[in-house]
Structure 1
Amino acid sequence: MIKKCIEYTITEPYTGCTVEEFLKSRGYSHRLVVYLRNTEGSLTVKGQPVYTIHRLQPGEVLKVVLTEDNPSRSIVPVNLPLSIVYEDEDILVINKEAGVPIHPSQGHHDNTLANAVAWYYSQKGEPFTYRAINRLDRDTTGLLILARHMLSACVLSNDMLNRRIKREYRAIVCGRTRDMGTIDAPIARVEGSTIERQVDFEKGESACTHYRRIAYNEHLDLSCVSLWLETGRTHQIRVHMKSIGHPLPGDFLYHPDYRYISRQPLHSCRLSFTHPVTGEPMEFTAGLPEDMRRLLE
């Protein structure tokens, strides 16, 4: 069983607020509040159970106990490389390697990031529930966040939805790009394909990518660009850069040219977000992997 205890000392601004109103102000979703309401012993003041309609007073300490009875037991622990950038009781920040899927799927039952995390916590003797907040393609490297309990997952998922988690990427692309630019072009699934996407101004969902060239290898005719996303569409960077004539080399879907690299050279290099429990600003960076660095030498 996973158990997380959080205590909140009520201050003047929250005088007279109900427990439900207070929890929602701290990022708890309606669904999570209902879960706590229906779980015995999850909400107490001075050691006594309280309802979500209880009105809080200054100086009261509201104790919230999050318990989970269904950790990810179906994920097989496998001893795989795992680069942990940051860890606390609420979140885990990982620097993912290339070739590692995020989730188990058909054909990928025991070689995923989930398997590696399951092994890590099995060695610590701790239960876990696997919750990846931001997603990276199998061959994309770099930073991603895992939530360690229901509240972290709730707050961070909402922050992702509302674009409060800032992500910066590095990509190697073909040709010499402009110094900087913005690609505002909707993206849709290619008809008849389950995974391939394309720019589609009739059926696509809005997608916006900003980029800036930071290096150029004249010998290989490759640019290194920094990218920021306003949206998070599937394959957004890969599709957008191809649409302006600068595809990523080694991309098996959109530009299968493997002369320089065996996978799409795309890397999540920076993550900025607010800690889901403490409210502190967090920022993490990860340098380019070796196969991408070689293309710039």
Structure 2
Amino acid sequence: MDPRFTLQFIAKKDGQLLREALQEWRISKRAVTAIKFDGGLLTVNGVEHNVRYILQLGDCVEVTFPPEKKSDGLAVEHGDLTIVYEDEAILIVEKPAHQNTIPSREHPTGSIANLVCGHFQQQGLASTAHIVTRLDHDTSGLLCIAKHAYIHHLTGLAQRSREISRKYEAIVHGHIEHDSQSIIAPIGRKKTSIIEREVRADGQYAQTDVTVLKRFFLNSEPMTYIRLQLHTGRTHQIRVHMAYLGHPLVGDDLYGGSRHFIDRQALHCVSLEIAHPLTNEPLQFTSMLPDDMLRLVKLSCL
């Protein structure tokens, strides 16, 4: 069985160059070059052709992408993945807290990406892990992985046009005054740190919507249980915006939160909505609040 990723398209125009059709199918020039030189294949009605071939209405075009190679620093590992959804194009998994999405210098192994590579190897896929929606090491919840570079390209286009929706739930210090609000404040790297971000005038546009679910006290400490929707995907966006608002996440000691109640930032991705990159079918996935965060809410008092 050919492990290469293959897609079929039907020509919708008479007399169109194959090259032009590939562009309409959002196959980039770089991908076409890789197909030509790195082991891919273009066929029309089962016969190999180059991009100058003139299509006829109804022709069946098959695009076989070259096999992918993972980076040398991404080790193949086998372990437990909590898979919420999987098909030929995308993989939705639930990431626990205290696990990296991708390897880092501090955590070179055991990441979601390492395990996904092992999962793909078991399936016989000539692919690597393409992370679409990344979560911080201590953030839990849903994330999306593309099973091929072309799918990653399509989901990247969807992200840039804000067609992928993510909702989070968090517990923050203090009682937030307004039941709902939108934080629009640019985020950039803090000059004194390679890790921290901050709201700064020369940062990138960032928008986070905040809705209060519950205000409560825990051991006389005021806290607010909130739902958040991201309109942009800046690094540490929710953590930075909530600290900027004066309500850092409980457990987020990098941005002013206390770890007295929980040993990580109390942040969980509860919802992920995406149009399927190949069929455009709307997909929605949800995730329950994890036990460590649920415990704080259940222990609360008004």
What is the TM-score when the length of structure 1 is the normalising length? 0.91
- Offset from partner CA, 1:222-245 (integer Å, 9 cap, x none): 212111122111111101111111
Match of 2:95 in 1: 96
2:156 counterpart of 1:185: no
Change (3 A) 1:101 1:22: same
Q: Any idea what SS the aligned residue of 1:3 has?
A: coil
Which of 259-268 and 153-162 deviates more?
A: 153-162
Which of 132-141 and 78-87 deviates more?
A: 78-87
Contact 1:2 1:67 in 2 (8 A): no
Q: Any idea what SS the aligned residue of 1:33 has?
A: helix
Q: Any idea what SS the aligned residue of 2:66 has?
A: strand
Match of 1:214 in 2: 213
- The alpha-carbon deviation at position 189 of structure 1 amounts to 1.1
Taking the TM superposition and a 5 Å limit, the aligned residue runs for 1:63-142 are: 63-71=62-70, 74-142=73-141
Match of 2:15 in 1: 16
- Offset from partner CA, 1:68-92 (integer Å, 9 cap, x none): 1524565333343311001111111
Match of 1:31 in 2: 30
Change (3 A) 1:284 1:17: farther
> Structure 2, unaligned stretches of length 5 or more?
none
- The alpha-carbon deviation at position 282 of structure 1 amounts to 1.4
Contact 1:44 1:62 in 2 (8 A): yes
Match of 2:280 in 1: 279
Q: Any idea what SS the aligned residue of 2:65 has?
A: strand
CA distance in 1, matches of 2:294, 2:18: 52
2:244 counterpart of 1:243: yes
CA distance in 2, matches of 1:267, 1:153: 23
CA distance in 2, matches of 1:124, 1:2: 9
CA distance in 1, matches of 2:240, 2:73: 34
Q: Any idea what SS the aligned residue of 2:117 has?
A: helix
- The alpha-carbon deviation at position 250 of structure 1 amounts to 0.7
Contact 2:35 2:66 in 1 (8 A): no
Contact 1:44 1:64 in 2 (8 A): yes
Contact 2:39 2:66 in 1 (8 A): no
Which of 92-101 and 281-290 deviates more?
A: 281-290
- Offset from partner CA, 1:17-40 (integer Å, 9 cap, x none): 322222222232232133224456
Change (3 A) 1:151 1:240: same
> Structure 1, unaligned stretches of length 5 or more?
none
CA distance in 2, matches of 1:65, 1:222: 53
Match of 2:228 in 1: 227
CA distance in 1, matches of 2:141, 2:98: 12
Contact 1:101 1:112 in 2 (8 A): yes
Return the letter of the residue paired with 1:9: I
Q: Any idea what SS the aligned residue of 1:253 has?
A: helix
Contact 2:170 2:226 in 1 (8 A): yes
CA distance in 2, matches of 1:28, 1:55: 17
Percentage of identical aligned residues: 37
Match of 2:50 in 1: 51
Q: Any idea what SS the aligned residue of 1:68 has?
A: coil
Contact 2:4 2:125 in 1 (8 A): no
Contact 1:140 1:266 in 2 (8 A): yes
Match of 1:3 in 2: 4
Return the letter of the residue paired with 2:151: S
Match of 2:200 in 1: 200
CA distance in 1, matches of 2:248, 2:105: 28
- The alpha-carbon deviation at position 121 of structure 1 amounts to 3.4
CA distance in 1, matches of 2:22, 2:239: 39
- The alpha-carbon deviation at position 2 of structure 1 amounts to 4.0
Q: Any idea what SS the aligned residue of 2:141 has?
A: strand
CA distance in 2, matches of 1:33, 1:124: 26
Q: Any idea what SS the aligned residue of 1:277 has?
A: coil
CA distance in 2, matches of 1:4, 1:122: 14
- The alpha-carbon deviation at position 166 of structure 1 amounts to 1.2
